[in-house]
Every structure is written in structure tokens, then in C-alpha cells.
């Protein structure tokens, strides 16, 4: 009688790291843990934070093995390199060790669940060196559950360790954070993920184009688990092998050649051609947001080519050649303006009830702005008395003031929101938003930001209250680590630098600098002023 075939295991489970050596991109954490184990300076509680799929739970299980491993001969002690063959290593790996208890806080949020853990921790273990409690998504615990855990977390029974994992560390009470040794697991770089996926497909005996692996690594956004899931789907999608074209179609990414053609139409000011190209992509199943993201990637690629950035493995030779040609013709100011217009358009597409129409309007705005002079050029023309076309002068006019009746119209932009706070006695909050908050999503009355530096613990609460006070609307304020726009301060610095570079690139200035090599640009329009 033939043996029944083994059930298929998805790649994310099959290639889950079983040792610290198999963890990707977490060298600093592994080094710190290794030193702590060798010196016998192990904390009683650890908090592992990071984005989804970066290896928090896997790290906790490996730590449980490292603490309890006895080696092949049964005489070993805690080690950074667990043997993987002793009874404790194998039982922990298979999830059947009674001294290593895993709990998902998302489904066990109550105080009774914490009391059961406390009761178990007070009992003597069943033989392992350390009794280990792994609590995943710990931020989901209720307030009472956290309070029940606090005392035990601070003074746990001897030989008891707590390993807490969370994707939202800002929701964990400070009283818990202060009792844990914290490790922030880093996002895994696209290059490391692509190399890891190449090893996986080699072991699986599957042919995958390097460009396809680079696209999957980029789509994973730093998550090994997400990337392996996408790779699994791509392998199932391709019959003879996986190509970059198949991955683009599977992920709904816009064809790079089509994106370059669309960008050329936008820069040429061809509104009808641009709308036709967008419609063609949409008919092929490409989402409007994917079209705008593709344009953003192209502008980013051109800018990197202009400043001499390294090659992106996800770019083809034709793409790099096109970017280099564009970089030679477009100035820094034009590229920064394109980036800001597209970024604003992407936010509008993501929050609009009609995404396709929002994408078309955003691209038409770019077409309209393609032949507009930048503010520096416009100022030079005005100061020299040169005639300015009505269209250009209209675009340079100051935006209309924000409506005073908040309930009728909320601030249309994030900048307007900061000005409203500044003008209503909320200067500190306005400054914090201006200097340290990058906008992830602005859809009044919803605001999602990514802090450029740690903000006060009560910032989210105070900002929500201030926004309600100033606008009269109930706002939802979210703090995340998702990709964001540059902060307003960073945008101002970029604009000032672009203006400075434009002046330096002027033929007269360039000639003067060649004659006087030591000359410096002391003052120029838009330069930041600092009080003495």
C-alpha cells in the first residue's frame, strides 16, 4: 500500500526561521541577545515590536528554544544557537512543550485569561529550564487584563520568562513597556528579501525571473511572510515559470512601458492622450491608485538617476536608459513639483468615492501645471518687469483663505489644518505637526500621520481634542508607520534647496563660480531665516 502524499505546506510556513541564523535583517537584535545569554544577563520580560511578517513570533519561539536547549548530549545550557534536535527544541518547534505557552491576545483579551496565565506561572514547570509565556498581539489586551498582568510581569516567579509581541507598540501601556526589554525588529530591505526568495525558489526547483523576485520583494513592504505568500501565489500562477510580466499582472501593477508613455504625455501637456492612456490601463484591470503609484515610482527613479543613485534591480535596462534621458532634461524643481502633485493625487484617489475620476483629475492637474514656471522663475519675471501669461499668474496666486465656518467646510489640506491650529491658540500642536508629522492620509475629518520623531504620549489625544475645538467636527487621528509624505518642514527645506540649486545652475552664476572657485551663495529668495 503506497503512502499517502504529505499535505502541501505554504512557503510562509515551510520556510519559517527555526534559528537566529535564519532570521533576516535582525543582526543587531541577535547580537544583543547573544551577549545577554553568554553573560547570563537575561531579562524576565521581552517586548518584540515591528510590522507584520517581520519575524516577531518566530523570534519568540526561537528564544524559547535558546533558553531551554540542553544540546544533543542533554548537558547544554542556554545558547544563541539551539541544537534543534534535543527534546526541548523539537517539542517547542512542534508546539507541544507544556512549559512554552502561546496565547493570541486578539482572541484572549479579558482579565480571566491573564489570571489563568498568572496561576500557571505560579506552578512549578514540567521539566524545562524556563517556563516561557508568548503573548502575541499583546496590544489587544483590555485595560483590566494589562493591570492584572503588571505585578507578575514586574516580579515573575523564578525561571519564568514573558515574551510579548505587537505590531502597534503605541497601544501598549507605558507601565508595561517599562517592565520589558524592548527589541524593535526592522523592516527587511527589498534586496535582502529578493536574495531570500531566490534561495527559496532554488530549493523549490522553480524558475523565477530576477526582476519578478525584485517586484515581489518590493510589494512585500519589508515583510518576509507577505513576500512568501505573494511568491506562493506567483508560482501557482505561472505554469512553466514566473516572469516579471506575470507578477505585474497578478499584483495589478501598471506596465512600466505604459507608465513611461503616460508620463511622457503628461510632460508634453497632451491631456487627451493622457486620458486615453489611463483608460486603456484601467480597461486592462489596473487600479487607478496603481497607475498613480507607477508614475510616482518613475519620478522617484528619474530623481535618483539625476543625483547619481544606485541602480534598482527591479528596473529593466530600457527603464534605466529612459530615466537617465529624462534626468538630463528635467530640473530638480520640476521633479519635486511632479512628486508633490502625484502624491497629492494618490491621496485623493485613495480617499475618493470615484477613484478613476479622481485619478483623471489629478493627472489633468499635472498637464495644466506642465508648462507653468516654478515660483522662483515667476518671481524673477515679475521683478524684471517681464510680462507673465495670465495662466501662469493665476497659478501663482495665493490660495483663497480658509472658510471661517468650520462646520461648512473643513480645512482642505493638511497645511491649512496646521494654519488653523496656529491661528486658534494651538501653537505647540501646530509646530509638532509642521515639523514632525508626515501625512499618510488626509481625508477630513480623518487624519493619519507618521511621526518623524517620537511624539509625546498624550499627543494623539490632545490633537483630537484640539481639532474638535478648532473645526467643530469629531476627528479620527491615527498614528502609523506606513509610507508618508515628507513633513511640512522637510518640504520647505526641499523647496529651498531646489531654489538654491536652480540659482547655482544658472549660466551666469555657473560662470561666476568658475572664475571665483571659492565663491558661496550667501542669500537667495526662499532661504530659511534664523533669528540671532
Q: Which of 64, 63, 78, 43 is nearest to 156 (CA)?
A: 43
Instruction: Report pLDDT for 360.
Output: 92
Q: Which backbone phi and psi does 334 adopt, to 5 degrees?
A: -65, -40
Residues near 169 by Cβ (< 8 Å), separated by ≥ 6? Answer: 47, 49, 139, 177, 182
With contact defined as beta carbons under 8 Å apart, do 173 and 146 qualify? yes
Say whether pTM exceeds 0.75: no
Which pLDDT does position 525 carry in this prediction?
A: 55
Output the pLDDT for position 450. 92
Spatial distance between the Cα atoms of 204 and 193, rounded to a whole number of angstroms: 16
Report the alpha-carbon distance of residue 278 to residue 357 in Å, rounded.
11
206: exposed, middle or buried (Cβ count in 10 Å: 0-12, 13-18, 19+): middle
CATH of 190-251, one of 1.10.8.60, 3.40.1080.10, 1.10.10.10, 1.20.58.100: 1.10.8.60
Here the cell at position 505 is 545652475
Whole-number pLDDT of residue 424: 84
The answer to whether the 11-184 and 256-389 domains have the same CATH topology is: no
> Are β-strands 437-443 and 100-104 bridged in parallel, bridged antiparallel, or unpaired?
unpaired
Q: Which three cell numbers stand for residue 342?
A: 502625484
The architecture (CATH level 2) of 414-485 comes to: 2-Layer Sandwich (3.30)
The pLDDT assigned to 501 comes to 77
3-class secondary-structure state, position 242: strand
Query: What is the predicted pLDDT for the residue at 37?
Result: 85
Residues 327, 306: contact at Cβ < 8 Å? yes
**Which CATH code for domain 256-389?**
1.20.272.10
Q: What is the mean pLDDT of each run of 10 residues along the chain (532 residues)?
A: 64 86 85 86 88 87 90 86 88 85 82 80 73 89 86 83 90 90 87 90 88 85 86 80 81 73 88 90 84 90 82 69 85 86 91 91 85 56 50 37 46 89 86 91 90 86 88 87 89 83 73 64 54 38
Distance, CA of 378 to CA of 388 (rounded, Å): 8
Quote helix, strand, coil % in the chain, to nearest 5: 55, 10, 35
What is the pLDDT, as a whole number, of residue 163? 92
Question: CATH homologous superfamily of domain 11-184?
Answer: P-loop containing nucleotide triphosphate hydrolases (3.40.50.300)
Domain positions in the chain: 11-184, 190-251, 256-389, 414-485
CA distance 51 to 326: 35
Amino acid at each position: 500500500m503506497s503512502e499517502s502524499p504529505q499535505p502541501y505546506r505554504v512557503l510562509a510556513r515551510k520556510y519559517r526561521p527555526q534559528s537566529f541564523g535564519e532570521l533576516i535583517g535582525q543582526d543587531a537584535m541577535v547580537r544583543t541577545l547573544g551577549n545577554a545569554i553568554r553573560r547570563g544577563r537575561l531579562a524576565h520580560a521581552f517586548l518584540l515590536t515591528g510590522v507584520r511578517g517581520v519575524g516577531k513570533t518566530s523570534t519568540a519561539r526561537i528564544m524559547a528554544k535558546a533558553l531551554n536547549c540542553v544540546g544533543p548530549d542533554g548537558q547544554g545550557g542556554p545558547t544563541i544557537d539551539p541544537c534543534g534536535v534535543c527534546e526541548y527544541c523539537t517539542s517547542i518547534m512542534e508546539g507541544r512543550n507544556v512549559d512554552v505557552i502561546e496565547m493570541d491576545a486578539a482572541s484572549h483579551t479579558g482579565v480571566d485569561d491573564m489570571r489563568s496565565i498568572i496561576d500557571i506561572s505560579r506552578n512549578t514547570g514540567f521539566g524545562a529550564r524556563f517556563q516561557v509565556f508568548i503573548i502575541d498581539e499583546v496590544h489587544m489586551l483590555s485595560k483590566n487584563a494589562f493591570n492584572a498582568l503588571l505585578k507578575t510581569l514586574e516580579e515573575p516567579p523564578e525561571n519564568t520568562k514573558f515574551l510579548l509581541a505587537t505590531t502597534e507598540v503605541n497601544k501598549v501601556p507605558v507601565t508595561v513597556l517599562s517592565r520589558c526589554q524592548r527589541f524593535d525588529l526592522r523592516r527587511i530591505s527589498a534586496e535582502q528579501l529578493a536574495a531570500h526568495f531566490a534561495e527559496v525558489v532554488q530549493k523549490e526547483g522553480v524558475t523565477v525571473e530576477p526582476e519578478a523576485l525584485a517586484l515581489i520583494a518590493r510589494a512585500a513592504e519589508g515583510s518576509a511572510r507577505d513576500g512568501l505568500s505573494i511568491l506562493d501565489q506567483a508560482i501557482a500562477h505561472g505554469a512553466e515559470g514566473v516572469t516579471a510580466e506575470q507578477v505585474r499582472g497578478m499584483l495589478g501593477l501598471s506596465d512600466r512601458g505604459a507608465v513611461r508613455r503616460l508620463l511622457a504625455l503628461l510632460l508634453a501637456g497632451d491631456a487627451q492622450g493622457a486620458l486615453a492612456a489611463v483608460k486603456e490601463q484601467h480597461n486592462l484591470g489596473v487600479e487607478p491608485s496603481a497607475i498613480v503609484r507607477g508614475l510616482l515610482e518613475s519620478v522617484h527613479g528619474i530623481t535618483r538617476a539625476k543625483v547619481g543613485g544606485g541602480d534598482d534591480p527591479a528596473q529593466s535596462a530600457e527603464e534605466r536608459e529612459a530615466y537617465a534621458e529624462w534626468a538630463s532634461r528635467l530640473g530638480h524643481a520640476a521633479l519635486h513639483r511632479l512628486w508633490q502633485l502625484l502624491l497629492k493625487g494618490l491621496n485623493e484617489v485613495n480617499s475618493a468615492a470615484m477613484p478613476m475620476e479622481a485619478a483623471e483629475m489629478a493627472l489633468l492637474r499635472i498637464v495644466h501645471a506642465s508648462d507653468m514656471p516654478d515660483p522662483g522663475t515667476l518671481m524673477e519675471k515679475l521683478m524684471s518687469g517681464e510680462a507673465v501669461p495670465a495662466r501662469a499668474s493665476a497659478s501663482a496666486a495665493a490660495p483663497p483663505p480658509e472658510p471661517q465656518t468650520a462646520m461648512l467646510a473643513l480645512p482642505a489640506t493638511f497645511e491649512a489644518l496646521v494654519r488653523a491650529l496656529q491661528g486658534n491658540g494651538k501653537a505647540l500642536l501646530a509646530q509638532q505637526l509642521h515639523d514632525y508629522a508626515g501625512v499618510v492620509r488626509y481625508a477630513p475629518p480623518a487624519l493619519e500621520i507618521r511621526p518623524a520623531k517620537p511624539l509625546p504620549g498624550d499627543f494623539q489625544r490632545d490633537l483630537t481634542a484640539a481639532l474638535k475645538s478648532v473645526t467643530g467636527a469629531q476627528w479620527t487621528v491615527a498614528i502609523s508607520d506606513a509610507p508618508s509624505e515628507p513633513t511640512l518642514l522637510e518640504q520647505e527645506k526641499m523647496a529651498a534647496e531646489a531654489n538654491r540649486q536652480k540659482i547655482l545652475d544658472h549660466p551666469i552664476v555657473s560662470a561666476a563660480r568658475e572664475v571665483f572657485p571659492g565663491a558661496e551663495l550667501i542669500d537667495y529668495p526662499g532661504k530659511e531665516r534664523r533669528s540671532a
